């Protein structure tokens, strides 16, 4: 899995669970995708929540712009009215900032907002694909500091764990002219209104599989990761990641200096943000990481990064629930 139902907190209401985020070049600008509610995509979006697209424009892992979507209750047809707010500057960091409404509409409709922004929200086929046996073997090896049991990964009969499943998707396409920088950082968050009148962050997602690989999905640690901020990553999670990667790489003998490799992993994934150069093709690859496209083999990339050894999935993008298309909103219809 990527971040599908990755913690006890996320599983309390899957509508708030971000399974994946993507950022890539679209037809008219930069596309940001947030997928939630994995395995079904049903039930719509939470009407008491914020779905937040956080963007860093100066490389300090602090948001300088946030796009926020809020949804009304579902109508008899299952659709929801929603608004998109843009918040800039220091105010982008705080959930009590109102910002400016740039689009209003309903789910399952393509909207054109202020400044040419395009927005779509609704159910879609999950583009993520993974061999369940492979991720299970990697998680076990990392947790125990033991070699990956490759015999448990059945490449001859590999199937996608999420074949035939849907997500709730939000797609924003922002014209390049809206950015006055060459490179941005992006991560997604969800937050739920509290009885006390504030907000509680429920989930965050950027680099695929980070929480899944390093934090058992039944642990408090996994829930805690979802509630923190990228600026805290090195301090809170760097030592743990360094330790477990050192042990598993030493056990697998894939690097002569396991501790140096582990530090490279920490430096690569933290702060947990997707970096993207405006106007360029996305490439979440083995040697280069620039955004993340909808069909890239992100599990294989992450496994190779952590283990310093390839773990083939035995499947490719053709195994995904649906085939993304070239036109907005890019995701395949729900299955």
In this predicted model, what pLDDT tens digit does every residue of 66-112 receive, in sequence order? 999 999 999 999 999 999 999 999 999 999 998 999 999 999 999 99
Residue 325 lies in a domain: no
- Mean per-residue pLDDT for 12-34? 96
- Does residue 205 register a pLDDT over 70? yes
Least confident span in 102-111, 217-226, 251-260: 217-226
Whose structure tokens read 């760097």? 238
Residue 209 lies in a domain: yes
Residue 48's CB: how many other CB atoms inside 10 A? Answer: 14
Residue 243's CB: how many other CB atoms inside 10 A? Answer: 13
* Tens digits of residue pLDDT in 31-70: 999 999 998 877 899 999 999 999 999 999 999 999 999 9
Higher pLDDT, residue 178 or 221: 178
Task: Determine the structural domain holding residue 108 and report its residue range.
Answer: 8-319
- Give the per-residue pLDDT at 4: 63
Which pLDDT band, with edges at 50, 70 and 90, does 195 fall under?
Answer: confident
Residue 330 lies in a domain: no
Distances (CA, A) of 327 to 108, 118, 323, 332: 15, 12, 12, 10
Which pLDDT band, with edges at 50, 70 and 90, does 6 fall under?
Answer: low
Which pLDDT band, with edges at 50, 70 and 90, does 153 fall under?
Answer: confident
The domain tally of the chain equals: 1
Q: How far apart are CA 234 and CA 272, in angstroms?
A: 9
Whose structure tokens read 């490389």? 59
3-state SS class at 3: coil
* Contacts of 252 by beta carbon, 8 Å cutoff, 6+ apart: 141, 147, 148, 307, 308, 309
Residue 335 lies in a domain: no
Residue 233 lies in a domain: yes
- Mean per-residue pLDDT for 166-175? 97
- Mean per-residue pLDDT for 275-292? 96
Q: How far apart are CA 257 and CA 238, in angstroms?
A: 18
Residue 328 lies in a domain: no
pTM: 0.96
- Mean per-residue pLDDT for 305-321? 93
Residue 331 lies in a domain: no
Residue 2 lies in a domain: no
Distances (CA, A) of 218 to 10, 174, 243, 264: 10, 37, 20, 27
Residue 242 DSSP code? H
**DSSP assignment string, 29-97:** EEEEEEEESTTT-TT---TTEEEEEEEESSSSSS-SEEEEEEE----TTS--EEEEEEEEGGGGG-TT-
- Give the per-residue pLDDT at 9: 76
Rounded to 5°, the CA angle 297-265-311 comes to: 35
- Mean per-residue pLDDT for 178-187? 97
Which pLDDT band, with edges at 50, 70 and 90, does 304 fall under?
Answer: very high
How far out from the chain centre does Cα 325 lie? 20
How far the first Cα of the chain sits from its last, in Å, is: 19
- Mean per-residue pLDDT for 296-302? 96
Mean pLDDT of the chain: 94
- Give the per-residue pLDDT at 39: 87
Q: How far apart are CA 20 and CA 33, in angstroms?
A: 8
- Give the per-residue pLDDT at 2: 60
Percentage of the chain beyond pLDDT 70 is 98
- Mean per-residue pLDDT for 100-126? 97
Longest distance between any two alpha carbons in the chain, whole Å: 61
């Amino acid at each position: 899995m990527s971040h599908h139902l990755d913690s006890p907190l996320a599983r309390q209401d899957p509508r708030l669970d971000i399974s994946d985020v993507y950022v890539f070049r679209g037809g008219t600008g930069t596309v940001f995708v947030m997928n939630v509610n994995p395995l079904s995509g049903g039930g719509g979006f939470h009407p008491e929540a914020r779905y937040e697209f956080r963007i860093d424009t100066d490389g300090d892992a602090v948001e300088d712009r946030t796009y926020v979507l809020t949804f009304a209750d579902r109508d008899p047809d299952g659709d929801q009215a929603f608004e998109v707010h843009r918040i800039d500057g220091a105010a982008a960091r705080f959930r009590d900032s109102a910002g400016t409404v740039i689009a209003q509409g309903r789910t399952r409709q393509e909207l054109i907002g202020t400044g040419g922004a395009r927005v779509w929200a609704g159910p879609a086929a999950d583009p993520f694909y993974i061999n369940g046996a492979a991720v299970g073997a990697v998680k076990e090896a990392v947790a125990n500091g033991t070699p990956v049991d490759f015999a448990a990964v059945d490449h001859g009969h590999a199937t996608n764990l999420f074949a035939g499943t849907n997500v709730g998707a939000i797609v924003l396409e922002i014209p390049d002219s809206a950015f006055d920088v060459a490179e941005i950082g992006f991560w997604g968050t969800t937050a739920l209104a509290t009885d006390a009148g504030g907000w509680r962050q429920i989930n965050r997602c950027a680099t695929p599989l980070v929480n899944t690989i390093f934090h058992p999905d039944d642990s408090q640690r996994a829930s805690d990761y979802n509630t923190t901020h990228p600026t805290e990553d090195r301090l809170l999670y760097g030592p743990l990641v360094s330790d477990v990667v050192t042990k598993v790489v030493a056990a697998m003998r894939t690097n002569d200096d396991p501790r140096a490799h582990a530090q490279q992993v920490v430096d690569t994934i933290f702060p947990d943000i997707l970096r993207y150069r405006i106007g360029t093709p996305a490439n979440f690859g083995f040697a280069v990481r620039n955004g993340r496209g909808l069909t890239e083999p992100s599990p294989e990339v992450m496994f190779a990064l952590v283990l310093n050894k390839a773990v083939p999935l035995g499947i490719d993008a053709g195994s995904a629930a649906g085939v993304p298309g070239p036109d907005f909103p890019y995701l395949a219809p729900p299955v």
